[in-house]
Amino acid sequence: MQRMTSYARLTRSLVIERGFCTSKSKNSNDKIVASVVFERLPVVIPKIDPSVYAFQEFSFRWRQQYRREYPEAFLKKSDSRGKGDYQIEFEPAPRITEADKSNNKRSLQRALDRRLYLLLYGPTFASPSGKSVWHFPEKVYASEQTLRECAESALKSVIGDLSHTYFVGNAPMGTYGYTSC
């Protein structure tokens, strides 16, 4: 019984001091802003580091040197199955595109072996005196049911169609509190 009353006192004190996240803020100017980190994953495999390539080559030669020898009859069994005349013509995509050559920073068809992030240049909700800065797409949380829907509408206002996008989760990745100037 003693333990139960101490828990009740603790929770009562937390509710009084902190409040719940649904309670109104003391400062009516506080806003919740949803921001989206939009990432384009690499399209081609990145170039292998020379030291990694040297290790892979050494490892391959080591395995070739000490590999197990199989009987010839066992190896010839695969030849008894039908062999087809399959020829696949494969031409690898170029690593350097026209957008790379012209240094077009607005194109998604550049830096195919690296991750790209969408950044906008302009005033943000937290920038002092409306100064333009680089930032992720953002929107003030207003009438949406969830923060995810707010984040989706922020991204949709910038890129339009969201059919080729994937949101990782429903919960925020992080939070940041701005101090008013």
Q: Domain residue spans in the chain?
A: 25-47+105-181, 50-77
126 Cβ contact list (under 8 Å, min separation 6): 33, 178
Residues 161-171 pLDDT 10s: 888 888 888 88
| Residue 181 predicted with pLDDT over 90 | no
The count of C-alpha atoms lying within 13 angstroms of the C-alpha of 82, restricted to the half-sphere facing its C-beta, is: 3
| Residue 154 predicted with pLDDT over 80 | yes
Span 120-142, average pLDDT: 86
Q: Residue 46: its pLDDT value, please?
A: 83
pTM of the model: 0.62
More confident residue, 26 or 147: 147
| Residue 14 predicted with pLDDT over 50 | no
Rounded-to-integer distance, Cα 170 and Cα 162, Å: 16
